[in-house]
């Protein structure tokens, strides 16, 4: 039975995600996708404008999956009655580490794709997905007694997310041995502990009022 357009699009994206995860951006080729899907290269371009659009669609799915992982981590802590902000942030960080480990090729390909599109003006669905991730962190911070208005809470959430992201991706847990992975996690714990303590003491924004010269 022939697949309809939606089913074939899903098949193409599933194949594309596997190719990205196995070999990164260099492994994503229209001819390989077509061969594995049992269709012509032209059929792919009837479904997607170009290979970048295929990659973009895969990335959107990954961002959705990452957001779901964060939400699930928070839901599990709520079921356990855990309200400590530091503990909740660390749980989100752990969910992110597991996500990076589970996507050793496709997640770096997301980051590489983002760097290529950095010059594109204006918000889009990509930015909306990232905002949803920041909102999860901001929701955790809102539960803390930090005396932050909405703007500062949003800034704190973005800063914390970017910092954890930097530690994890620079160390790249998926290719680390257990000792290095442990070191990366200690860095995350230190960062989160210092960050939360700064918010508790109310001095985290004391030096963030003016731009550097």
Distance set, CA 180 to CA 158, 175, 183, 187, 204 (Å): 26, 9, 5, 11, 29
What confidence tier does 122 reach under pLDDT thresholds 50, 70, 90?
A: very low
CA distance 49 to 159: 35
Which region among 50-59, 115-124, 154-163 has the lowest average model confidence (pLDDT)? 115-124
Q: What integer pLDDT is reported at residue 3 of this predicted model?
A: 74
Mean pLDDT of the 90-96 span: 94
151: its two tokens:
């703007």
Q: pLDDT per residue over 13-49, tens digit each? A: 999 999 999 998 899 999 999 999 999 999 999 999 9
Q: What is the mean pLDDT of the chain?
A: 87
What confidence tier does 151 reach under pLDDT thresholds 50, 70, 90?
A: very high
Q: What integer pLDDT is reported at residue 101 of this predicted model?
A: 86
Q: What integer pLDDT is reported at residue 174 of this predicted model?
A: 47
CB 132 within 8 A of CB 51: no
Count CB-CB contacts under 10 A for residue 2.
Answer: 5
CA distance 56 to 64: 12
pTM of the prediction?
0.84
Q: Please report the DSSP string for 105-153 in residue order.
A: THHHHHHHHHHHTTT--S--HHHHHHHHHHHHHHHHHHTSS----HHHH
pLDDT exceeds cutoff 60 at 141: yes
Mean pLDDT of the 152-159 span: 94
Top-confidence residue, 116 or 196: 196
Angle (nearest 5°) at CA 92 between 88 and 94: 115
Q: What integer pLDDT is reported at residue 178 of this predicted model?
A: 61
What confidence tier does 145 reach under pLDDT thresholds 50, 70, 90?
A: confident
């Amino acid at each position: 039975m022939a697949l309809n357009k939606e089913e074939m699009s899903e098949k193409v994206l599933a194949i594309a995600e596997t190719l990205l995860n196995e070999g990164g951006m260099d492994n994503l080729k229209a001819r390989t996708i077509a061969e594995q899907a049992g269709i012509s290269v032209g059929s792919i371009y009837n479904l997607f404008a170009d290979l970048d659009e295929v990659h973009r669609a895969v990335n959107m799915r990954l961002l959705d999956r990452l957001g779901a992982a964060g939400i699930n981590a928070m839901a599990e802590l709520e079921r356990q009655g855990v309200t400590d902000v530091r503990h909740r942030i660390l749980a989100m960080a752990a969910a992110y580490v597991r996500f990076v480990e589970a996507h050793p090729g496709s997640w770096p390909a997301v980051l590489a794709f983002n760097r290529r599109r950095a010059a594109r003006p204006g918000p889009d669905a990509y930015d909306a997905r990232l905002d949803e991730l920041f909102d999860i962190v901001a929701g955790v911070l809102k539960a803390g007694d930090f005396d932050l208005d909405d703007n500062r809470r949003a800034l704190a959430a973005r800063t914390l997310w970017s910092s954890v992201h930097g530690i994890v991706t620079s160390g790249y847990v998926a290719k680390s041995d257990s000792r290095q992975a442990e070191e990366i996690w200690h860095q995350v714990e230190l960062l989160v502990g210092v960050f939360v303590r700064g918010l508790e003491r109310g001095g985290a924004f004391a030096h963030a009022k003016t731009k550097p010269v």
